[in-house]
Amino acid sequence: MYPLLFRAVLSRFDPEFAHHAGMAVIRVLGTPPFSWATRAVTRPDPSLRVETLGLTFPSPFGVAAGFDKNAVGVRGLAALGFGHVEVGTVTAVPQEGNPKPRLFRLIADRAVINRMGFNNAGADAAARRLARLRRGAPDTVIGVNIGKSRVVEVENATADYVASATRLAPLADYLAVNVSSPNTPGLRGLQAVETLAPLLRAVREASGTTPLLVKIAPDLPDEEISAIAKMAVAEGLAGIIAHNTTISRDGLLTDAATVEAAGAGGLSGAPLKERSLEVLRVVREAVPADFCVIAVGGVETPADVQERLDAGATLVQGYTAFLYRGPFWGREINRGLVSRGTVRA
C-alpha cells in the first residue's frame, strides 16, 4: 500500500520537504501514548539481540546517519523497531549546509542523490537534545556521527573533530568519525592513512571510554580500504562503518538527463548493493572477528540484511529505502529476519 501512496502522492513533493514532514510524524510516534501503541506492533523479537561495542542492540538493523541530523526523531525511530539510531552528521559549528535544492530522488533506481553538506544545528544543540534523551529514553542505542565544520580549514580538522567529540562522546553510546562525505570540500582527503591515523588518535583520546568508529567511502580502491581497516584496529578503534554514499553514477536506470540535472552529490540506495558487499568483505578480511563492522548501502529487504550478516557484518544500517518502503520498514526487516530462523550464517 505504501509504495502506491508514495508514487501517487508523496513523490510529488519536494524530497527535503517530504523528509521534514515525515520526521514530524516520526516525532509524534515517539511520544506517549502513540509510542506505546507503535512499540506494541514493532518491538524486535528478543532473538535478534546483538552484543557488540559493550552494548546490547535490540536488533542488528538500525538507522544510518543522515536521516536524523539533529537528534529530534530518536524516540520515534526506536518506537518503529530500529535497533539503534545514528544521529548526525553533527559539526562543532552550526551550519546551513549547501544551497537548495540539494536532495533528489531517482525513483527508477530506488535511490537518492544528496548534497546536503552537513546541515545541522551544531554540537551544543545536539548535546542538549541527547541529554534530554538520556533522561527520557535511556535504553535506546544512540550513535553520534561527527564531521568537519565547513568554516574550518582541512589542516585544522583534528581540533574541530576533537571539539565535537569532547562535547558529544559522554552522551553517545558510540561515536563515528565521518571523513567520507563527498559534500564537504576536502573532507575525503582526510582518509589517507597518514592523515587519518593522527586524527583518529586525537579523537579517541578525547572520546574517553565511548567506543569510536570511522566511516569510510566506497570509492576508495580496495587496498586503501584494507589499509584503513587495519589502521583502525592498530589505533584502538572499536569498529568501522562501511560505507558512505558514492560519487559514482554507473549502472543507473534513471535517464542520463535527469541524473545530470541533479548534479553533484552522494548517491545512496539500491545501486550500491554490489559495491557495499565488496567493501564489507574487504573490511572483514582485514580486521579481527570480534571487531565491529557496520554495513551500510543498498539495503532494502530482510534478505539484504541477512546477506550482509552472513558476509561478516556485526550490524547493518539503512536510510534510503525508508523513503520507498515506508514507516514500517524496520518492522519488515526484523520480522523477515526472524522468519528466516537466524540472523547469523
Q: Which residues are catalytic?
A: 181
Beta strands 85-91 and 50-52 are unpaired
The C-alpha cell that represents 6 in the structure block: 508514495
d(CA 13, CA 233): 44
Is the separation of the CB atoms in 35 and 76 below 8 Å?
yes
The C-alpha cell that represents 110 in the structure block: 530506488
Q: What Cα–Cα distance (Å) separates residue 300 from each residue in 150, 154, 206, 295?
A: 32, 35, 36, 13
Nearest one of 301, 240, 244, 242 to 267, comparing CA atoms: 244
d(CA 67, CA 3): 19
Handedness of CA 126, 127, 133, 134 (dihedral sign): positive
Contact residues for 216 (Cβ-Cβ < 8 A; gap 6+): 179, 180, 191, 225, 228, 240, 241, 242, 243, 244, 279
Task: Tell the residue number behind the cell numbers 563527498, with chain if given.
Answer: 182
d(CA 290, CA 287): 8
